[in-house]
Structure 1
């Protein structure tokens, strides 16, 4: 790739800046960390690795990076692509072989979407491998739009208000997952991926899956964004400004104990008595 244009440089700087801000805001990476960057072969994980490699050079702390790809034994998977790319970067890497493809195809009926089961199987394998190699952080390539989409998916279909946190400790406490691209939007990541000409490996396990609930939510958000630019960013900011007393979760806020405060000073003036 040749010299970047002004707009391309701005794009690169924006992604690097936003990633740095997210890492700092959530204390994602600490001195001495061994960060396992999970590579799928998609635009998000390639961008994640690219930006973290830059951050490693300029950060005031020392941390190591190891790239890990999980070969799920999908027919036709170009297994030589990622090793060749990572060797060209000089990055330490591992390819974890686990035939989750056969498990997914056996357990999920034909025509049904497979992403949920596939994701759980992959995550479990990567958790175990991170523990084996002594990784202190496991970095995933989810971005701002993924987080907002997950928020609506959980609200619409699971009846819960939750999304993907930028930093998460696993249930058993043995892994810490980080999402350094949490402040970055998908449009920028796609543009950067195109610019860098990353060797994209498409997921063909279950086709395009246009009927996925996530795709429906994605289309909805894109339409909102088209009509009202900035709406997705506003929704994301709302996830950072939660007011439990204005919701209805009795486990999160003690509604039952709310009573009149006899010593309180009135906050509002009765206009009728003016």
Structure 2
């Protein structure tokens, strides 16, 4: 996945899995250097609208490792987030929302990075496969290594065959922090504890008072976008129940998903996508407009 002279941008979310990827790439850099292969790494954090991770903590953490940190401010693009349910389901096998990916590609291009590393495991691949098959009627999942021609960047997933619990065990053994834990249990003042009967209800109301005009529309759009997580949550629960009955189910899924993960059928899907993009026509304001999906074209890596 990593080639000599590459500039790899590790995408951070604040979770322990993304920090485990950062440490893995950082350690592999020293190992590859001893073998004569030189490449550089950096870290990127795109501040999504629903995330409350403090980027200053990530910046300080990357500074201790000597890794360059790139920060993209909170997303504020309602038009790109307002999608139909069909387009939401179509993005179940992608590593993030369209707006986040677009910001990540732009940041990588601006800073000269040609490779983006994403910390997604075999559990993510299995959930994406089930969600795409059950809710979208397609055989698709996240891929290990592919190229985005439009942005001239390669996407790699070094943990694609690693179990999620193995990454969690590694993070606990190395005492890696979880910067997203703060947003799950934020500190409450005594006054807010007395006035809150259900967790989070009054907090949303208090925050909405200070937001500018159009904040209610933003919150409505955000709630509709969060519906994309429901198929993935259902797939996770299904896999969890099946693994309790069949402990080796992920070994079978690993072998079954190998053609999809290795992107063997990506050229066929690319041709079908281009044909559908040219043939489907919609009417908008009385004028014919070619239907354009928000996803970018994925190509196999030579």
TM range, smaller chain: 0.5 to 0.7
Equivalence for 1:83: 59
2:150 counterpart (167, 172, 183): 172
Question: Per-residue deviation at 1:163?
Answer: 0.7
**Are 1:136 and 2:114 an aligned pair?**
yes
Distance 2:115 2:54 in 1: 27
Q: Which structure features the higher share of helix residues?
A: 2
Equivalence for 2:13: 40
Report the structure number with the largest CA radius of gyration: 1
2:253 counterpart (211, 230, 235): 235
Q: Tell whether the 8 Å contact from 2:55 to 2:71 is kept in structure 1 after alignment.
A: no
Change (3 A) 1:78 1:231: same
Equivalence for 1:53: 26
Distance 2:229 2:65 in 1: 37
Distance 1:194 1:210 in 2: 29
Distance 1:51 1:96 in 2: 23
Equivalence for 2:48: 72
1:85-234 to structure 2, matched below 5 A, reads 85-100=61-76, 103=78, 107=82, 119-172=97-150, 174-202=152-180, 212-234=230-252
- Where structure 2 has 5 or more consecutive residues not aligned to the other structure, the ranges are 185-221, 261-267, 271-302
Question: Per-residue deviation at 1:77?
Answer: 3.7
Distance 1:75 1:233 in 2: 33
Equivalence for 1:20: none
- Where structure 1 has 5 or more consecutive residues not aligned to the other structure, the ranges are 1-27, 243-249, 253-274
SS at match of 1:66: strand
Distance 1:125 1:158 in 2: 26
Distance 1:241 1:56 in 2: 29
Deviation string for 1:72-104 (max 9, x for gaps)? 35575423210111111121111122424x738
Q: Tell whether the 8 Å contact from 2:14 to 2:53 is kept in structure 1 after alignment.
A: no
Question: Per-residue deviation at 1:234?
Answer: 1.2
- Calculate the aligned-residue CA RMSD, in Å: 3.3
Distance 1:83 1:103 in 2: 27
Q: Tell whether the 8 Å contact from 2:80 to 2:98 is kept in structure 1 after alignment.
A: no
Runs of 4+ with >6 A deviation: 113-118, 203-206, 208-211
SS at match of 2:10: strand
TM-score for both structures, normalised by structure 1: 0.68
